[in-house]
Amino acid sequence: MENVRLFVIPMAAALALSLVTPAASAIAAPVPSAKKVDCKKAKCVALTMDDGPVAGTAQVLDTLKKYDVPATFFVVGKNAAARPKLLARMVREGHEVGSHSWDHAQLTKLSRAAMLKNLKRADKAIRKGTGKRVKLLRPPYGSNDANVKSVEKSMGYRQVLWTVDPLDWKYRNTKTVVRNVLKATRRNSIILTHDIHATTRAAYPKIIKSLKKKGYTFVTVSQLLRTR
């Protein structure tokens, strides 16, 4: 399984590159090289963005491209269905896309059948945008119980929570968000943020520059979980 995945990703990247014209590929930023990072050696960190995509997510992708770092987006299915081109761009530019349910439902409040229906609907929308199987689920609010875990297992998902929470939904202040992230981030941290907030979107350049300066290497969540 690991070998298959390692083989498939470079092929997909090569295909994506082959689809742009030679002139465009010469000036395009390279696909972030997270796939090659070994987090046993590198000081890795995973930046994650929840609840989008929204129109402003394009700006986030521009920032990630500018600094050549990969991230992981936990998208809400109905937002993904509304903006499939942004999902395609995420994948094309080396990012990972996971599920955050269809409508940001608190999964522990749903019956098993309703939960399955909700997650399958999100899954379909995400696959349509990314062309890839969904592997990761971040349950909204981190809301979790045996029933959620059982459904995740039946869907073939791995649950991803977080280790750093700057409370950016609460502190709509860019400086506070940057400070909270920098204060709490350690090696192999999974940083929770929300790209739906303009204040958070404005924080990404500073977060990325500061963490790079401290020697961190940005990776996707799957990369982090695979090699840390």
List residues near Zn ion by CB under 5 A: 50-51, 140
State the nearest-atom distance from the C-beta of 23 to Zn ion, in Å.
Answer: 40
Q: Which residue is nearest to Zn ion (CB)?
A: 50
Residue (89 or 104) nearer to Zn ion, CB? 104
C-alpha radius of gyration, the chain, whole number = 17
- State which residue, 50 or 195, has the beta carbon closest to Zn ion: 50
Tell me, rounded to whole angstroms, the distance of Cα 111 from its chain centroid.
27
Q: Supply 90's token pair.
A: 């995420």
Whether 194 sits among the annotated catalytic residues: the reply is yes
Considering 50, 51, 123, 168, which one is annotated as catalytic? 50
| CB closer to Zn ion, 51 vs 152 | 51
CB of 100 to Zn ion, least distance (A): 5
Helical H runs in 19-76?
A: 22-27, 57-67
Give the nearest distance from C-beta 212 to Zn ion in angstroms: 26
Which of the residues 104, 194, 195, 197 is marked catalytic? 194
Residue 124 near residue 101 (C-beta atoms within 8 A): no
Q: What DSSP assignment string belongs to 95-162?
A: -EEEE--SS---GGGS-HHHHHHHHHHHHHHHHHHHSS---EE--GGG---HHHHHHHHHHT-EE---
CB of 6 to Zn ion, least distance (A): 30
Report which of 120, 117, 97 is spatially closest to residue 50, judged by C-alpha positions.
97
Residue 45 or 196 with smaller CB distance to Zn ion = 196
CA atoms of 170 and 125, how far apart (whole Å) = 29
Positions annotated as catalytic residues are: 50, 194
